[in-house]
Chain A
């Protein structure tokens, strides 16, 4: 087991990782930018090092600075969190070159699953159904392009190879718009990821986004956990996640789990990861991508299954073996998470950094809050707007929803605008309560004026 871990991240996930390390008896080193001098993660760690000015490229993405911090503090492992360098194969390789354990999968796994097209090839090798698509990069200059799109069948979606989150994406409903949309998406992709490569996929009108958490040890054993449903999204950013999915029964759950396991084994994956699927209205699932890191929404699986995923991630990285199977996992009711952001839902979710004047966190039975904020904390403008994750667990979906509404009702943040009112409206909406949520939910009901 490691002795000292440097957490190459910030905010709530850095706090989460530090907590797991402390419970494992490991020493912790936090890194922070000048803008994060008063951040909670820097206070909680045994030691903290300022690694640069506010902007992420100069601090949390500054590999030399982070490696120097590892050197001067004598850590033997690095946890990259999520975002930032967590899926950088360069960072994983540099850690290795400096004798530091990277708490995550191998650089090869990161590289293979990081590139969307390569990942799909691997899924296909593993026998997983893929979303009908171009099976490769497309170009607006290719005369075959209209034919490729026709074969997939309209509507199609143009997506970026180099990354997600909605960047470099365009929906095309008619052939006339195809070339223009491919060009626009490619330019946007180049700006966002440095890679102009785009590909085509069939666009589903009412899909669900369902994902499977896996854990894998060095012996090649892979365990899958019940699916998470992340269909409540806005512009491809997840807002509410729940587990299990209202659309998935025991048979489909097994199929999804086994498919995820096959993908992980195909690349010899280790530690923790998540395989994402698109589920259409007929219950057919298609491989979307694999995330080779711990995810934002991991707590709902932890609450549902009583498993500490971050501790397992560290233990697996240290070479420990999995001591349980799917059948050993006791699923406890239903769990749900709301991502509370410092954004104004009444003004197109514009980010609202500022000072938190007063804070009252929700609590009570079955309520968990993962956050880095505190009363008097000033939210810096350089990073994402996630304030807190409110996670609830209860015996079934209806009682979980009621508990989440109760918890959000207690949650008071004065001084900035937050998305709490938005979450409340979603939770009250009849379609959500019925479980009839697809990734169009927000767009449909927000623009429909119901929320």
Chain B
């Protein structure tokens, strides 16, 4: 390349500020830009999305969205629920491995799924550390707000020594 490029940064300061301000104003968690072959991404520091316990008894569910809401398996199994309406994705991309496996371990704050709506991917996190008892949504399935995605058996804290 001949000559000097006046804009050596990927963004100028004002654009940068605008993006950050926009993310703060909305609830976007992750934004990636690509410009002239270079990428920059912005990620919000996320707390685990709070998920409610699977303590609800099976309630009368409307037709068409009927799902077997059994009693929680084992003492106090933890439900991870969809935070939005959208499509459930079990991995970060079509060729990527699933984020969570049946019987596998998850830690608090770990990303467990993506729910996508209107081209925006919302990451779902586990609020607890434990073992995955059940994966309740299929990859590509439409899910509603609050729909149970995973059931996790939270790990007991080991007794303190001494």
Q: Which residues of A are in contact with B by a Cβ distance under 8 Å?
A: 30, 32, 34, 37-38, 42-43, 45-53, 59, 64-65, 67-69, 71-73, 98
Contacts and interface: CB of A to CB of B under 8 A. Distances in A.
Contact of B64 (A32, A47, A65, A72): A47
Contacts of B85: 49-51, 65, 68-69, 72
Given A65-B85, A68-B84, 9 more contacts: A37-B59, A43-B62, A47-B63, A49-B65, A50-B147, A67-B118, A68-B118, A72-B86, A72-B142
**Chain A binding surface, main DSSP class:** mixed
B29 interface: no
A64 B118 contact: yes
Interface of B: 59-65, 84-87, 117-118, 142-147
A64 B117 contact: yes
Contacts of B118: 64, 67-68, 71, 98
**Chain B binding surface, main DSSP class:** loop
A38 B65 CA distance: 13
10 contacts: A37-B60, A37-B61, A43-B63, A49-B85, A50-B85, A50-B145, A51-B85, A53-B145, A64-B118, A67-B118
Nearest 8 A-B pairs (CB), nearest first? A72-B142, A47-B64, A68-B117, A68-B85, A48-B62, A50-B144, A42-B62, A49-B144
Nearest to A38: B60
A375 to B, nearest CB: 14
Contact of A68 (B59, B61, B65, B86): B86
Contacts of B64: 45-48
A38 B59 contact: yes
B65 A51 contact: no
A140 B95 CA distance: 65
A93 to B, nearest CB: 15
Contacts of A51: 85, 144-145
Contacts of A43: 62-63
Contacts of B86: 68, 71-72
B117 to A, nearest CB: 4
Instruction: Give the one of B61, B87, B144 with max A CB within 10 A.
Output: B144
A31 to B, nearest CB: 8
Nearest to B59: A37
B142 A45 contact: no
Contacts of B62: 30, 32, 37, 42-43, 45, 48
A294 B14 CA distance: 46
